[in-house]
Structure formats: C-alpha cells, structure tokens
Chain A
C-alpha cells in the first residue's frame, strides 16, 4: 500500500486527477469532503489530504511514503527527503515585488516583508545585500503600500493581485512548480511501487 500525501485545495485536485488518470484512482475521494484519508485497496493506494505546507513534514516523518508539494515549501524548509519529479503543475514564480514607482535605495538595508523568510534571506545573501525581514502570514501585498516594507518576496502566479495593488515584479527569484517527493526509507522499501508510479507519471506528463 502506497500512502500518498496530497495538498488540500486546487493543486491537490489537479494532482489527484493526474494520479487517477494513470490508474491510481480512488473514487471515494469525491464522495465525502470531510474525510481526510481515502483508500483504494485494489489500486494499493491511500490518499491523505493535508495542509500544503505540511505535506513535506508528513513525508519526512514517514507518515506518508510519497507526496506532492510546491517547490516554495521545499526551499523554505529543510527536509531530508527525495525530490523525485517535477510535475510541471501549479507553475508560478517566487518574486521580489515592489510598488510601481519604487526606486531601490542602496544606502540602507532593504526592508523585506514575506512569509518565505528563508528564501528571502538566501536570495539576498547571494546578492550580498543587507536586509531586514518582516515576517507576515498573509496579505503580504499590503506591506509596501502601508510603508511597512520596501519590497515583498512572494509567489506570483498571474500577477493580477500585484497589479490590483499597484505593485510590479521587481526581480524573479526562482520558478516554482509541484514536485513529487518521497520519504527516504519508504523509497528504499517500496522502490518498485514508487518507480512504477514515477514511470507512469513521466509518460503521462510527456503527452
């Protein structure tokens, strides 16, 4: 039995459809929206629906064998897992965004508002730029508007939210997409099952 952790929400739905299309369906998943664990013994899969930011934690601790998680979560945390495949789903970019009329002042440390503290830190370390981080948990776009920060570091999908808040992409940090990850121990003991699933996924994604 393969235990698969999926992120609840839009990305999780897309990923489930992908898995179902290659023979790992579990129709029960549509029937009861409150349940968090769904099993199809015939296909040998058990899906666990968890908060997107927790998928990698479940995998690292072996509560699930494999899972799908955004690259942003992997970059922000530090997880001892295998990152096996780029599913090319949920594509977006991790960006530095700033007000439309922003001009960077290099005379002082940059004030950065973000919920991706480690990504922001590592990015500015690579530029050797001194920063002050303001950790926020949501509505990041509001920070530069209210003068809380100079810029924000956040995920940008279509850019519409930025646009509506008079912000623009100032720098691109990295592309983000959904990744298939595995627990290291599970990968060793269930390598046949996991590799079979990976091969099927690769074929489907290549279509």
Chain B
C-alpha cells in the first residue's frame, strides 16, 4: 500500500489516507451535489467571509451557485440521526482566490458532527484534527483557541462595532502595539488593555500555557472554557500528539456563527493554515433546530506545491518499436512487465525530455537494451 501511495500526488494520497482515518473513527462518507440555490449562500454571506459566490442560471431559470462552502450545505441538508450524525467528505468548493483574483476550485476533505456536542466529542475532534495534520506532515502544530476569551472580553468593553473590528484585526495579527494604541484612544482601562495584550501574547504548548490562561480568566464564560480546556488537556495527555497542541488565542472566528473551541492546523512546509475548524452551534442552531455542531476542513489544494515529489523517472521501462516490425509478441511482453510491477511506455521514438530507467528497442520479436534516457 505504501508503494502505491508513493506513486500518488500529495493531494491524492491524502484524500485516500484521511478517508481511511475518518472511517476508522466511525465517520460515514457524505456526498453532495456541486450546486445549491444561490439564495441559501446569500442568506449566509457573513459565514462565507468574502469567499465569493460563483452563480449561474439553471435550465428552469433558477439562480444557482457552485458550492463555496461545504459546512453550510451539510448542516442544511444532512439527514440527522437520533444520536450523533458523524460525517466526512471529499469535495471541491469554488471560491475567489486571493492570488489569482479569480474563481478557483479548491479540494477539501473534512469531518462534521451534528447533534449534541459534549466534552468528549470536542476532545475526539481535536484528536482527529491532530491525526489529520500528522498524516499531512509529522512536523505539525494545532493551534487551539476558545471563543469565550477575546470575544467575551470585547463584549464587556464599552466600544463601538468598528473599534471592535479594528481590535479583532490586531488580535489576529498579534499586533499588540496598535492594540494598545486603539484601546487608549477609545478609553479602555489599562487593566482591560493589559489583559487583552496578555491573552493575545500567550503562545506555547497547551499543557504549559493552560495554567497561565486559567489564571487570566476573569469572567464566568472564561472560567467555563478553562474547565473545558482542562478536560481536553487531560483526555489527550497520554497521546503522543499532545506535545503538538498549542494554545493561541489570536485564532478568532465570526462570533455570529462560532462558539466554544476553534482551531487552526499548520505544517512546517506550508506558510498558511492547512486545517481550520471549530464548534459552530450558532450556525447549526440557525439552520436546524436544537442542533449543535463541530467539525474541521483540511485544505488540500496547495499541498502538491509544498510537497513536490521528485520525479526520477517517467516510467521504469520505455520500449521503442517500429510499426513495420510490429509483432503480436510486443503486447504480451509489455503485459508481463506490468504484471511484474513495472511501469512501461511503448513509443515509436524517445519522447523529448522523457526519463526511463531502462530503454529497450523491440527488434525482430525481441527486446534489446539501449542507452537509458
């Protein structure tokens, strides 16, 4: 199996390996159509945060959209079971690309759980996220945050929505110098300002940082979040993955949709997060009554670039033959090589730039080894 996976691109091998991982943890594959009514996405535009919607009219004139997001669609459409609905998917989304300034197909794989989310489920989700990252690269970091900290502190401050947005941008960028300046300008007390700065500046392994974070907790929401994080830390304590879990409160999501744990995953070779996820009871509750939800997505689209496979040979064997010398035995020779596990290409001449371990010329019904290319 490892040899087979080695022949695949990073994106393809990950699609297979992650699907296996999610199946082993009891998740069912969920397949969906590529299109959905445009109005569904426009009603939830904030959740898409400027990802853009590629719309078109279908045959009966209805305005449709190529899916810009998977989570929304699953929450709206998945058939809910009496207990938990645990799903995984391998799908494409169509979004505006920052680099090309045009729409782009982005491959995603991920898991979603709908139902009643408890502490065990949150811990399982973090474990699965960490295992997914480890499948991408053994050098990974899962940055964990909780919506109870920065957003609840901002809610206590007597500041306008625009200032809140500015502060959130500073938090996301770990920009404590501008954060202090904005707080000062808006009359935020120095005590609250320093608390914000201290929360944003926390960075390190979960087990090291958690006691410091809980010391800083100053309201009921934060205290409750600390209990949840402590449960997660003890649940994952025995796992080898525990050392890869970091606390980073600069990870923030839209407060209208997300609550509880949120997280982002990084691997050393990729400059941006390759995994994002979290608990989104608020979104789930909006679309399905009394439903809580948690999940994450792994972005596969750029991984082939960051994990380039060195191509030594295009095939193991290249056979050159002349049509005039064509013989019925050539096909069976090729078949016998393939059955032995070699990759073989048959050509009339050596293609430009082609690399093969061994090159044969097929002459008079037999193979003659010639210089390799």
Residues of B with C-beta under 8 A to A191 = 203-204
Which residue of chain B has its CB nearest to the CB of A126?
B162
Interface residues of A (CB under 8 A from B): 60-62, 78, 80-86, 183-189, 191
Q: Judging by beta carbons under 8 Å apart, are B271 and A184 in contact?
A: yes
Residues of B with C-beta under 8 A to A85 = 177
Q: Judging by beta carbons under 8 Å apart, are B203 and A60 in contact?
A: no
14 interchain pairs (CB within 8 A)?
A: A62-B272, A82-B175, A83-B173, A83-B174, A184-B266, A184-B273, A185-B268, A185-B270, A188-B141, A188-B143, A188-B266, A189-B268, A191-B203, A191-B204
Which residue of chain A has its CB nearest to the CB of B174?
A82
Which residue of chain A has its CB nearest to the CB of B204?
A191
Selected contact of B266 from candidates A78, A80, A82, A189, CB within 8 Å: A189
Q: Judging by beta carbons under 8 Å apart, are A185 and B173 in contact?
A: no
Selected contact of B178 from candidates A62, A83, A186, A188, CB within 8 Å: A83
How far is the CB of A64 from the nearest CB of chain B, in Å?
10
How far is the CB of B178 from the nearest CB of chain A, in Å?
7
Contact with A along B259-273 (1 / 0, CB 8 A): 000000011101111
How far is the CB of B78 from the nearest CB of chain A, in Å?
31
Q: How far is the CA of A81 from the CA of B172 in the complex (A)?
A: 9
Q: How far is the CA of A157 from the CA of B175 in the complex (A)?
A: 24
Q: How far is the CA of A80 from the CA of B270 in the complex (A)?
A: 13
How far is the CB of A94 from the nearest CB of chain B, in Å?
14
Number of A-B residue pairs having CB atoms within 8 Å of each other in the complex: 47
Q: How far is the CA of A62 from the CA of B248 in the complex (A)?
A: 20
Residues of A with C-beta under 8 A to B139 = 189
Nearest 9 A/B pairs, CB to CB: A62-B271, A83-B175, A86-B177, A82-B174, A83-B173, A185-B266, A188-B141, A185-B271, A189-B268
Residues of A with C-beta under 8 A to B98 = 78
Residues of A with C-beta under 8 A to B246 = 188
Residues of B with C-beta under 8 A to A187 = 174
How far is the CB of A199 from the nearest CB of chain B, in Å?
12
Q: Judging by beta carbons under 8 Å apart, are B272 and A185 in contact?
A: yes
How far is the CB of A32 from the nearest CB of chain B, in Å?
29
How far is the CB of A133 from the nearest CB of chain B, in Å?
18
Q: Which of B241-285 contact A (CB under 8 A)?
A: 246, 248, 250, 266-268, 270-273
Interface residues of B (CB under 8 A from A): 98, 139, 141, 143, 173-175, 177-178, 203-204, 246, 248, 250, 266-268, 270-273
Contacts A189-B139, A191-B203: A62 and B174 contacting too (C-beta < 8 A)? no
Selected contact of B141 from candidates A61, A80, A83, A189, CB within 8 Å: A189
Q: How far is the CA of A83 from the CA of B200 in the complex (A)?
A: 12
Q: Judging by beta carbons under 8 Å apart, are A184 and B272 in contact?
A: yes
Q: How far is the CA of A184 from the CA of B268 in the complex (A)?
A: 11
How far is the CB of B216 from the nearest CB of chain A, in Å?
19
How far is the CB of A166 from the nearest CB of chain B, in Å?
33
Which residue of chain B has its CB nearest to the CB of A190?
B268
Q: Judging by beta carbons under 8 Å apart, are A186 and B173 in contact?
A: no
Q: How far is the CA of A188 from the CA of B139 in the complex (A)?
A: 11
Selected contact of A84 from candidates B174, B267, B268, CB within 8 Å: B174
Residues of A with C-beta under 8 A to B266 = 184-185, 188-189
Residues of A with C-beta under 8 A to B203 = 191
Q: Judging by beta carbons under 8 Å apart, are A61 and B173 in contact?
A: no
Known contacts A189-B141, A191-B204; 19 further A-B pairs (Cβ under 8 A): A60-B271, A61-B271, A82-B173, A82-B250, A83-B173, A83-B177, A84-B174, A86-B178, A184-B266, A185-B267, A185-B270, A185-B271, A186-B271, A188-B143, A188-B246, A188-B266, A189-B139, A189-B266, A191-B203
Residues of B with C-beta under 8 A to A183 = 271
How far is the CB of A38 from the nearest CB of chain B, in Å?
22
Residues of A with C-beta under 8 A to B178 = 83, 86
Residues of B with C-beta under 8 A to A84 = 174-175
Residues of B with C-beta under 8 A to A81 = 173
Q: How far is the CA of A186 from the CA of B270 in the complex (A)?
A: 9
Q: How far is the CA of A60 from the CA of B248 in the complex (A)?
A: 19
Which residue of chain A has its CB nearest to the CB of B98?
A78
Q: How far is the CA of A189 from the CA of B140 in the complex (A)?
A: 8
Q: Which of B98, B173, B246, B270 has the most CB of A within 10 A?
A: B173
Q: How far is the CA of A187 from the CA of B268 in the complex (A)?
A: 10
How far is the CB of B351 from the nearest CB of chain A, in Å?
34
Q: How far is the CA of A191 from the CA of B204 in the complex (A)?
A: 9
